[in-house]
Each structure stands twice: as C-alpha cells, then as structure tokens.
Structure 1
Amino acid sequence: MEGKAWNFRANKAIDGSKLGIRTYIDILRSNIDHSDGRSVIPLSHGDPSPFPSFRTDPSAVDAVSEALRSANFNSYSSTTGLPLARKAIAEYISHDLSYKISPDDVYLTAGCAQAIEILISVLAFPGANILLPRPGYPIYDCRASFAGLEVRYFDLLPEKDWEVDLDAVESLADDKTVALVVINPGNPCGTVWSRQHLQKIAETARKLGTLVIADEVYERFAFGRNPFVSMAEYAEIVPMIKLGAISKLWFVPGWRLGWMVTLDPLHIIKDSGLLGSLENFLNMTTDPVTFIQGAIPDIIGNTKEDFFSSKLNLVRECAEICYEEIKKIPCLNCPSKPQGSMFAMVKLNLSLLEDIGDDMDFCCKLAKEESVFILPGRAVGMENWVRITFAVELESLIEGFARLNDFAQRHTKK
C-alpha cells in the first residue's frame, strides 16, 4: 500500500560524529576468535573495577546501601544536586587547594561524561570553536561535532612529556574561541603537568580571553616526579570550570556521579551570562541518582587514606611494568614514561612489521590472534599509535604483554 513518504530519517549530525571509545572496543570484540580458549585481556579502556585488586572500598558500598535503605533519597533531586552532596564535594575538593570552594559553585552530573555533554551544549553557538588536545578524550570531539561546535586541535608534544604546544594554541584561537580543554592527569598520555606548565596554560588562556575546561577526573592519580596540582589554583588568572567524578578514584564508573565546579573569583563567567545558561540547561537534563548523591558524604568521609594509597601503589607498579615491557618489543615505542592516570601512548613502528597496515589493523589482528584488546590511536586522534591501559590485575597485565610480544614477533619482518 503506497502512501506519504515517512518523515523520519537518520540523523546525519550523529552519524557523522567521531566514533567513541566503546565503538572501537565493539569492533575489537567482533574480531575475537571464539575458538581461542583464553580469556580476553582488556588493555583498551580505563575501567579496572571488574578486577579484584581494584574493588572499591567496603565503606563506600556500605554508604550506598545505607543511603538506599534509609528511604530518604527516593525523591527527585534539585537540578544542581542535593545540598549535602554539593557541600561534601566542595569540602573534598578544597582539601587540596589553597582556598575554599563554595557548595554553590558545585553542580552534580551523571558522571563526568554528562558534565562534558552539558558544557559543550551550552558553549555551542553559531560560528564558535573550541580548542581540544590531540591526542585527547574523544567524547569532547563527539559532542562538539553533534552540537555544531567547530573543533580546532592543538598538539601535545611527546618529546616534551606531552606538554601543551602553547604556540599552537595561540595560533589557533580567535575571538570565537569559547574554551580551551586541558586534561590533567592525562588521558590518554599518562602525564602529570608541572605547576609551571599549568600556570603557562592559564596565562595563555587569559591572553586569548577564553574559558578553561579543566578535566581532572584522574586527580590524585599521580605517581611520578610531578605531584598533582589542580588548575583551580590559577582561577585568579583565568575563569575555569573543573570537572571530576568518583568513578576513577573509587573505581566505580557505573555509579555515575560527577561534577562541574565553576571557578570564577572575578565573576567573569557569571557576568557573561554563561552561568545562567548552564543552570537553565541543567533544568532540561537528567539528574544523578539520588541515593548515590545521598551516600556521597559518607563515601568521602569514611574512606580511609590507606585505600587510596594502596591502590595508587598498585597503579604505579602496573605503570612500571607496562613501560618496561613496552621497551622489550622493538615495534613499540613509549616516548614518555607514564606519570599518572591509567594510560600510556605508544608509537607503532610499522616498518618493522609485515601484514599490518595501520593502528586499526594492528589492534584488530591482536584481538583475533591473542584475545588482547588495546585501543587504536585513531580513537584518540593519533593514527599509527596505540593507547594501552595498565590499570588491570597484575597477572593479566603480565600475560597481556606476553601475548603482545608473541604477536609482535610473529608479525616482525624476517
């Protein structure tokens, strides 16, 4: 029966957006040889929570259980988050700063990913552009593309421990540049920038008149020569919005509790109208789960420092093993030893390999032949590189590199 043509169709803005990390992992999963009796070793994404060594602290589980059983958190939340949760997070962030954060500056989100979605949506206006790091975290690219916000990439420099190419930042920016995104500790590079470099970034952004988005979801994941210093220390220089979450430090990404913190001592964000737009957008979006919000004061207050220090020591040991094992494989080169987060960026020397076309081919064949997942570098903006996640069970990490070494030897040109 013929009739009027259907009015709905594919959304080209979505279909044309950059692929997210989960899409690449699905591609790798589709290459698995199911006749291989070995378990898959996931060195491709930053979620160590399934591994016994990275289980969250029992006090955090108790806090969630008690909040749920109390029946005090079954109602809707306010759009900015429950006051007791905002207060607890403000105090938590303030602990490592030289000044105090106000709870009124904290906005709760369903994970750090939703915070990114909200910010990109609010910042997007016709003709605007945003400066993103390359390599970087692809959700920024995906959301910007969908929102119609032009992306301009500045390089992180592997020969300088992945510092920001500040000259490139200045050359890329114009009067329509709305924000500069910095991720520290670094995903995907495993960097922790020095206090001096952070100040230079802030001064450059001030010179350009652009907001800084400080993605610090891996804060405190610093185990190298540089201690973690929050960009929040430079809010007097440039207005910024700090992003964070409990997902990484407590190893609970599925709990979906993140935050945005406006750092605006000179009221630049407020006077621009951006703060009002941010709050209006929050009225149109979903809230984080209320019983997780309700548990936050006890999650933060009852988790002992021993939990964090023991997990950081484990991540440090994994990072050391990762770096040393990479050096044993001739076709791989890690230009900068990981200093933080859960990742290392590794350059492929394809000239040493046969039957490997590029980073995607390398990762798909590795998945098929060895049941090991690593992320192709194109997922984070760097073709013919790979990103390796080292925050996994030690035994799995060692076995994963043994298989990776076997794969590399098998494909080495004779």
Structure 2
Amino acid sequence: MENGAKSWAFRGTQKLSAKQSKDSKLMVTIREALDKLMGNLNEDDDRSVIPLGHGDPSAFPCFRTTPVAEDAIVDAVRSSKFNCYSPAAGIPPARRAIAEYLSRDLPYKLSPDDVSVTLGCTQAIEIIITALACPGANILVPRPGYPLYEARAAFSNLEVRHFDLIPEKGWEVDLDSVEALTDDNTVAMVIISPGNPCGNVFTYQHLKKIAETARKLGIIVIADEVYSHLVFGNKQFVPMGEFGSIVPVLTVGSISKRWIVPGWRLGWIATNDPCGLLKQTGILDSIKKYLNISSDPATFIQGAIPKILENTTEEFFSNIINTMKEDADICYSKIKEIPGIACPQKPEGAMSAMVKLNLSLLEGINDDMDFCAKLAKEESVIVLPGSAVGMKNWIRITFAIEPVFLAEGLDRIKSFYERHAKKL
C-alpha cells in the first residue's frame, strides 16, 4: 500500500488557483427525452405502450422485489425505532450493513466510516460532482454514458470531457483517449460497470488497466456500480474497489436495480482507499460538508437495510438474473432480424443495449430523435434516442420487461423498419 501511496499524486491540489472553467453545455436528460416521446403517442392506437426507454422494471410481475425487502420495510416502520431524523451520513446500522455487504467482494474490509447513505445513486453522483467542482477543474466521463454526470457538472460549472467506449472491443474504455484528454486540471474519471447504456461488463484485467492509468495521471476513479451483480454473460462482476490500493475509488451504488426498487431511493457513496490518499485532498471533507446541508433517505428505509442485505436469498437474485438473460437473448436475436439497426455486442449485464441506426436504409427518418418520435407515434413503442447518452444516430433499448412484451415491442420495431425501408 505504501508503494501505491508514493506513486499516486492527486492533481486536484492545483485547482484552487486554476482559472474558472467555461460553462458546460447541459445535455438533454433521459427524463426530458422520454417526456417528449410520450407526447408523440397516438391516442387512437388501442395497443399497450411498450416501454423500452427507461430502466425501471418494477411494474412487471416477473421483476417484483423479494418479500424479504417488503417485510423489512414493514418491520422497520412498525418498530417505531426509525421515526427520527437521520445523521448526515446515515444511521450507523445502515452504514455498517452496507460496508459489510460491499466488503464481500473486496480484498480488504470497509468500515462504516467509509460509507455515506444517500437518496439513491442520483444524490451520490450529485454530492461527488459538487465536491470535485473547484474552479477550473474538469472531469472525464464515458461516451456513451449516463447523462446525469453532464447535467450535474453543468450546474456546478465543472467542465466535462468525454472519452470513448469502443463498440468493437465490447465497449472497453479507449485508454489512449483518456490520456489525451487529461491535463493538470483533471480531477477524476467515471467508470460504469456493468454498463449503462451499453450492457457491457468490464473484465478484471481491463479494470486494472483503468486503475493503473488513473494512478499514472494522478486522478481518482468514480465507480458507478448501481447495476452491480446484474451480470448474465461469461464475465463476472468485479468492483472497481478491488483496485483501491492502486488508485482511490469513490463507489456509488444503490439497492434500486438489484432489488428492483428504484422508488425507494436508498443509495450510498463508499470510499475505497486503503492507502488513505483521499484524506490529503480535501474531497472527503467536502463530501461531509455537502451531506450536512442535504436531504437524507427516509430513516425507516435505512432501518430496513440490514435485513434486506443480509436476508435476501440467492434464489431471488438467480430468478432476476435468469429473466434478464432471457430478455437479453430475445433482444439481441430479434435485433439481428432487422436490417436497419445493429447491436455490436450482446448485452452481458445491466438492463440495456446500444443499437446503431443505419439511416441510409430508411426513408423519411432524419436522425435518432426522429426515429424514436415516429416509432412512438406509429407503434406505441418507446426507446431512448442515443443523443441523450452521447451517441447520435444510435438508440438505447432497455430490455428489462416481461419477455412476451419485449418480443412484441421488437416485432413492432421490425414492422416500423419495413414500413420506412427504402425501396431498392
């Protein structure tokens, strides 16, 4: 660990004297894009709307959460022990349970002091971005990626620079582009694995290369692991915290996806830093200060977390994974039947896939947003335009719904293509 400490020097110590960064351009959020598409639905279409644009499968019976989680919430409410205000970082039993849960996958143990409980992963991202946003700083985020990072950075005047994920290499990080983008004002890079929006899963070897690159560049890693353990291909989930002795890692996560309860809004920030390097930067102090002025997750949900994390059965997780795998198989196989779109890699994790549009084969379709708007109007199918995640003329298909509805939705997309295909 001492070697890691000596070989990593955080660039952020230079930020306070740097020039104020230019205002970031605020991207269209996923919610904004989906709201626009919902406005294009044809009220005269009697068919059900098939939602393939948003990662919330909780409405479908095959993705109902475990009774263990529901009972834990009820028990917490009825106990009358959790009607109080929460400490800024979360109640101690919740922090302890999350630390123990995350430590199962790590070569070292996290303590409750390494964990802060947040209002879902969204607030975790907001807190970290705000803590890093000193004058002149910039942050590296993946393209395609999750647009909340750009949106939050824009509000904090934190410059965003995009590094590419390579479709032909399973959406691996283009580490050459990371090095080319980094300068003395770069403070962090964001890694999302399992990947939203691509459905990719990074290998141990690739994550280690990312960690070594970050150490070389003197930046920290923000690991977005909201889809942790939702893998169903040949790769295993590897937490970025595995490499915390190489480079400091701030991990954001939640119970939203693995337990299928996004509305419960329970997430966390975990500090994976066994060398203690982040204490030298002031980042952890900034996070604590932000927590002191922000809202907390409902205390009864925090009170339920120990039972949820400890008592959920492997059978529940296996059933979710098996359904996800069935959906991914359906999605990938049916996309191959449609000449106008292509998926470069079968999804191996998370809930979505990136699909490339071949507009040269389509008549009367201008771009990805036009494709999605007309698909909503003509077929009552909602998919997300790739522009919302940084990839123009691609679309993101979220496949975590009832398999029979997914198959129907993709069949409707095929009918849409055949209707708009150019006549040769």
Q: Sort the TM-score into its range (normalised by shorter chain).
A: over 0.9
Q: What corresponds to 1:278 in structure 2?
A: 287
Give the TM-score taking structure 2 as reference length.
Answer: 0.94
Q: What corresponds to 2:6 in structure 1?
A: none
1:171-186 maps to which residues of 2 (within 5 A)? 171-186=180-195
Aligned length: 402
Out of 246-255 and 295-304, give the one that drifted further.
295-304
Alignment partner of 1:30 is 2:39 = yes
1:45-56 maps to which residues of 2 (within 5 A)? 45-56=54-65
1:384-399 maps to which residues of 2 (within 5 A)? 384-399=393-408
Provide the rounded CA distance (Å) in 1 between the counterparts of 2:240 and 2:309. Answer: 22
Provide the rounded CA distance (Å) in 2 between the counterparts of 1:371 and 1:16. Answer: 31
**Partner letter of residue 155 of structure 1?**
D
Q: CA deviation at 1:14?
A: 11
Q: What corresponds to 1:244 in structure 2?
A: 253
Q: Partner of 2:228: helix, strand, or coil?
A: coil
Q: What corresponds to 1:163 in structure 2?
A: 172
Q: Partner of 2:57: helix, strand, or coil?
A: coil
Q: What corresponds to 2:159 in structure 1?
A: 150
Q: Partner of 1:387: helix, strand, or coil?
A: strand
Provide the rounded CA distance (Å) in 2 between the counterparts of 1:163 and 1:224. Answer: 16
Which of these residues, 57, 61, 64, is aligned with residue 70 of structure 2?
Answer: 61
Give ranges in structure 2 of 5+ residues lacking alignment. Answer: 1-21
Q: What corresponds to 1:104 in structure 2?
A: 113
Alignment partner of 1:259 is 2:268 = yes
| Residue pair 2:352, 2:398 contacting (<8 A) in 1 also | yes
Q: What corresponds to 2:17 in structure 1?
A: none
1:203-241 alpha-carbon deviations (Å, 9 max, x no partner): 000000001000011010111111111111100000110
Q: What corresponds to 2:229 in structure 1?
A: 220
Q: What corresponds to 2:380 in structure 1?
A: 371
**Partner letter of residue 270 of structure 1?**
K
Provide the rounded CA distance (Å) in 1 between the counterparts of 2:23 and 2:169. Answer: 35
Provide the rounded CA distance (Å) in 2 between the counterparts of 1:150 and 1:304. Answer: 43
1:145-182 alpha-carbon deviations (Å, 9 max, x no partner): 11100000000000111000000000000111011000
Q: CA deviation at 1:19?
A: 1.5
Provide the rounded CA distance (Å) in 2 between the counterparts of 1:279 and 1:15. Answer: 25
Q: Partner of 2:160: helix, strand, or coil?
A: strand
Q: Partner of 2:289: helix, strand, or coil?
A: helix
Q: Structure 1 residues 71, 93: CA separation in 2 closer, same or farther (over 3 Å shift)?
A: same
Q: CA deviation at 1:16?
A: 5.7
Which of these residues, 13, 17, 30, is aligned with residue 26 of structure 2?
Answer: 17
Q: Partner of 2:223: helix, strand, or coil?
A: strand
Which of these residues, 75, 94, 97, is aligned with residue 103 of structure 2?
Answer: 94
Q: What corresponds to 1:9 in structure 2?
A: none
| Residue pair 2:197, 2:396 contacting (<8 A) in 1 also | yes
**Partner letter of residue 350 of structure 2?**
S
Which of these residues, 287, 302, 318, is aligned with residue 296 of structure 2?
Answer: 287
**Partner letter of residue 239 of structure 1?**
P
Provide the rounded CA distance (Å) in 1 between the counterparts of 2:227 and 2:267. Answer: 12
Consecutive aligned runs of 4 or more in structure 1 exceeding 4 Å deviation:
13-16
Q: What corresponds to 1:140 in structure 2?
A: 149
Q: CA deviation at 1:70?
A: 1.3
Q: Partner of 1:179: helix, strand, or coil?
A: strand
Q: Partner of 2:145: helix, strand, or coil?
A: coil
Alignment partner of 1:197 is 2:197 = no
Provide the rounded CA distance (Å) in 2 between the counterparts of 1:151 and 1:393. Answer: 37
Provide the rounded CA distance (Å) in 1 between the counterparts of 2:372 and 2:177. Answer: 31
Q: CA deviation at 1:15?
A: 11
Q: CA deviation at 1:98?
A: 2.1
1:313-332 alpha-carbon deviations (Å, 9 max, x no partner): 11011001100000000001
Provide the rounded CA distance (Å) in 1 between the counterparts of 2:343 and 2:411. Answer: 17
**Partner letter of residue 112 of structure 2?**
P
Provide the rounded CA distance (Å) in 2 between the counterparts of 1:165 and 1:321. Answer: 29
Provide the rounded CA distance (Å) in 2 between the counterparts of 1:387 and 1:108. Answer: 30
Provide the rounded CA distance (Å) in 2 between the counterparts of 1:301 and 1:213. Answer: 26
Q: What corresponds to 1:345 in structure 2?
A: 354
Give ranges in structure 1 of 5+ residues lacking alignment. Answer: 1-12
Q: Partner of 2:391: helix, strand, or coil?
A: coil
Provide the rounded CA distance (Å) in 1 between the counterparts of 2:23 and 2:132. Answer: 18
Provide the rounded CA distance (Å) in 1 between the counterparts of 2:70 and 2:276. Answer: 38
Q: Partner of 1:49: helix, strand, or coil?
A: helix
Q: CA RMSD in A?
A: 1.2
